[in-house]
Amino acid sequence: MPLTRLFTLTALAVSLSAATAERAFAQDAAIGEDVYQSVCKNCHGPKAQGMASYPKLNDKDADYIAGLLIRYRDGEKIGPNSALMIPHAMRLSDEEIAGLALYVTTAFD
């Protein structure tokens, strides 16, 4: 195979991979936005800035948020709002947790 053809095929593969990743990112963020708007916004604020005794989320990283949600989903009592968070987290799938963590950490820059 000529080198130029190999280069072209490689560039095309990278481009397709990037496009696929971008679509997956957008899809995950959309799932997260739906969850945030319907479940989280009333307590954590419209821009995840925190309200009253509900913590700010827009300054956390995705791994931290996902990790807490998984622990809440498993029924672990983490802090004073555990009784409120556990029932919400128990309804979330892995996909929703990942999307929510992505959305909260990228949507409010």
pTM, 2 dp: 0.77
> For residue 85, what pLDDT is reported?
97
- Tell me the C-alpha distance between 53 and 84, whole Å: 12
Q: Which of 9 and 99 is assigned the larger pLDDT? A: 99
Q: Is residue 91 part of a domain?
A: yes
Q: Is residue 93 part of a domain?
A: yes
Dihedral over Cα of 58, 64, 70, 73: its sign: negative
Q: Is residue 95 part of a domain?
A: yes
**CATH code assigned at 68:** 1.10.760.10
Per residue in 90-100, pLDDT tens? 999 999 999 99
Residue 21 pLDDT > 90, yes or no?
no
Q: Is residue 18 part of a domain?
A: no
Residue 18 pLDDT > 90, yes or no?
no
Our count of domains for the chain comes to: 1
Supply the Cα-derived Rg of the chain in whole angstroms: 18
| Contact (Cβ atoms closer than 8 angstroms) between residue 53 and residue 81 | yes
> For residue 42, what pLDDT is reported?
96
Q: Residue 76 to residues 1, 7, 54: CA-CA distances in angstroms?
A: 58, 52, 18
